[in-house]
A and B are shown apart, each in its own frame.
Chain A
Amino acid sequence: MNETMENNFQDHIQKVSQATKEWLQPDNLSLKKAIDKTVEEGMFSFEDIKFQIRTLKQKVDSGQVEEWAKRVELSEIKNSVGQKVLCLHAGNLPLVGFQDALGTILSGADYYGKLSKKDPYLLSSFLKMMDEVDLDIQIQYSTELADFKDLQADKVLFAGSEESVVPVQEELFKLNAVNDNTEFVIRTAKFSIAYLDNEEPETLRDMIEAVFRYGGKGCRSVAVIVSPFTLSKVKCHFTDYVEEFWLNNPQLKKPKENLAYQFAFNKAIERDQAWLDDFLVQETDDFPDQEFVLNWVVGDHNKVKELKSRFGNSVQTVYRTRENINGIKTEFLSNAQTPDLWWEPDGIGVV
């Protein structure tokens, strides 16, 4: 391989890393403004945004951009230069599209981002910074899908569901933004499962963070806890830690009236539950299909495996606190809301 060529791509990686670090600096006025606007308009809480940015800063400052490039062996030969990648970003939590945007840019592909109207400021401040660096790639973004008319993207990244995939694809074809050769990378994971086998304060704090951060809206958020303990046994203990968490991280989005309906239903069928003002914890192994609800399941490792298999592609990650669960891939619970930059949504790497 030609050394100069190799150096060119290393230079690209360095520029991306450096610009990301600069974007995350506390004195970055553009980011500060974006945060203020996001909070003012009630999109996300200041605490959730601060948590997300602090997490990203820790990862980036520890050299994870370069490490990510190394892990996927990005080089002058192995890269995505010349590829047009269209990212359709969701807006369920602050900067949820950051990883896709950074990964696409890092790979050398031309980045086209449809930003969510529910989170339009934070990611655009990052993209503005990237655009100002001399990166020799296209960076275009908009909150309007129509702005990608005639793009003819090589790849489209988005998170969807059975119902949303077809309308999205139809719309993209209508706009001529894609063609028959476009590769669609669609993520379907909706929530994560955790196995809780002890009541140590650190474990419980990790669990609370994993469940309640971002109002439980992320696919890395725990929606199902499997534990050898019954809910009634840990209810009081658990509640104390939740209150502590909410004191420091008030939940911005509140549940709808149907949560009270679910509470009444649980009462009717005599299902054990805990009503935590803005969240409902209920003992059931049903599919977690409601917002602001945590399902508590009494069981062992085999129950975790059964649920993972039953819930299929909806499960993002299975977390553990101590020993491994044989036969399935797990991550540590403490990493639930602080994943490495290269974490794999749906088990598929972004780059």
Chain B
Amino acid sequence: MEFEPYQIFDESVSFEEKALNIFKYQSENNPVYGRFCKALGIASSINIAEIPLLPIQAFKEKEIVTSKKNMSADGYQFFQSSGTSGMQRSKHIVVDPDLYKQSIFDGMWEFYDLHDYVIWAYTPGYNSSPNSSLVWMLNALIEREDSGHSKFLELDKSLLQSEIDKIRASGKNLMLFGAAFGLLDLAERSNVDLAKDTIVMETGGMKTFRREMTKQALHEQLAKDFGLPLEQIHSEYGMTELLSQAYSRGSEWFDCPSWMHVSIRNPENPMQEVEQGEEGLIGVTDLANFYSCSFILTGDKGIMNAENQFQVLGRWNPKNLRGCNFLIDQD
């Protein structure tokens, strides 16, 4: 029987079975991924550990589409990464936006009771990008919530105590989404008393970059400036090329929804996973990428713990492989 896209959410089917079905479908029907597998000599009947991960740069070079059969002829949804002019940007064609929507909602439901939250989104730098997957996701979350209090916040405006009080009066909590440094600006500008169970959801990105800071320091600063306990500062790990998100809830470790799986790969041989606790490239199997490519090798550096949680340690920087480069532990 043919594997149906919405079966990715079916927990009665194992992740492995779903992934192998999708691998077969994509390696046979996605021209880019098919050529990639063929060049590596990977046949379709393999086990899950042998599925090759397509380097994420492919989304900058080609349209990564497995099937266009459900796409509208007069236009289709696509997401594009942000970037300055002249910079190559990733493009992710979304054949079935409803699949993305379900991935967003079900993914959040695994970690949060969405009924309890009003969604506010502060996304400077993204608002002018009509094809931002983050803005699309936030819009979906805001539209879904029915109290009338969820919204995108106006840029360069402070938070208002009266609006926060209205959320409190409605019996809901606030979940405030925002790009890393945009949130810092917002916190600095605002003098409000947030309820202690407010969640600040940092979505990564450096759109209003103004300083160098570690993620840990950023979260500590956000907790201090918003007057919240550190465990209320959460993170979302997502990107244009993925249709699922992982979440960290008050620590630096991320959890994936059940149809998303992260592995840490050896940069010298991405077919291999590194030992637990070792640094490597973050590989993502995102079954929600049913119509594009579910098996992605990111350019991010990460590590994994025994609970299958992962940490993002920034960008993998291979720029120093050439030329003289004195390294204490090697030279």
Contacts and interface: CB of A to CB of B under 8 A. Distances in A.
Interface stretch (B34-42, B129-137, B164-172): B34-42
Interface in B1-33: 32-33
Contacts of B317: 162-163
Contacts of B325: 90, 92, 159-161, 164, 190
A285 to B, nearest CB: 10
Main secondary structure of the interface of B (DSSP, over half): loop
Interface residues of B, number: 35
A189 B323 contact: yes
Nearest to B281: A258
A190 B269 contact: no
Contacts of B331: 88-91, 114, 116-118
B227 interface: no
Contacts of B327: 164
B320 interface: yes
B322 A219 contact: yes
Interface string B251-290: 0000000000000000111111000000000000000000
Nearest to A220: B323
Interface in A272-289: 287-289
Contacts of A137: none
A127 B172 CA distance: 74
B224 interface: no
Interface string A69-95: 000000000000000000011111000
Interface in B188-211: none
A53 interface: no
Contact of B328 (A171, A189, A221, A345): A171
Contacts of B38: 267
Contacts of B318: 289-290
Contacts of B39: 263-264, 267-268
A24 B182 CA distance: 62
Contacts of B61: 269, 271
B322 A288 contact: yes
Nearest to B271: A257
A122 to B, nearest CB: 14
Interface stretch (B52-60, B71-79, B105-113, B239-247): B52-60
B157 interface: no
A134 B322 CA distance: 38
Interface in A206-233: 216-219, 221, 223
Contacts of A118: 330-331
Given A267-B38, A269-B62, A167 B326 contact: no
Contacts of A88: 326, 331
A260 interface: yes
B322 A261 contact: no
Interface residues of A, number: 52
A108 B322 CA distance: 31
Given A163-B317, A267-B35, A268-B35, A223 B55 contact: no
B321 interface: yes
Contacts of A291: 321-322
B319 interface: yes
Interface string B284-307: 000000000000000000000000
Contact of B320 (A89, A158, A190, A271): A190
A187 interface: yes
B324 interface: yes
Nearest to B33: A268
A29 interface: no
Contact of B32 (A91, A116, A167, A269): A269
A90 B36 contact: no
A268 B58 contact: yes
B271 to A, nearest CB: 7
Contacts of A271: 61
Contacts of A161: 319-320, 325
A240 B186 CA distance: 62
A125 to B, nearest CB: 18
Contacts of B330: 91, 117-118
Interface string A39-78: 0000000000000000000000000000000000000000
A129 interface: no
A23 interface: no
A343 interface: no
Contact of A265 (B55, B267, B328): B55
Contacts of A89: 326, 331
B282 to A, nearest CB: 15
A316 interface: yes
Interface string A160-174: 111110011001000
Interface in A148-202: 158-164, 167-168, 171, 187, 189-191
Interface of A: 88-92, 96, 114, 116-118, 145, 158-164, 167-168, 171, 187, 189-191, 216-219, 221, 223, 256-258, 260-261, 263-265, 267-271, 287-291, 314, 316, 345
19 contacts: A90-B326, A90-B331, A117-B330, A117-B331, A118-B331, A159-B324, A159-B325, A161-B320, A161-B325, A164-B320, A164-B326, A167-B328, A168-B328, A189-B323, A221-B322, A268-B36, A268-B58, A289-B322, A316-B323
Given A164-B320, A219-B322, 17 more contacts: A92-B324, A163-B320, A171-B328, A190-B319, A221-B322, A257-B268, A257-B271, A263-B39, A265-B57, A267-B36, A267-B39, A268-B32, A268-B54, A268-B58, A288-B322, A314-B319, A314-B323
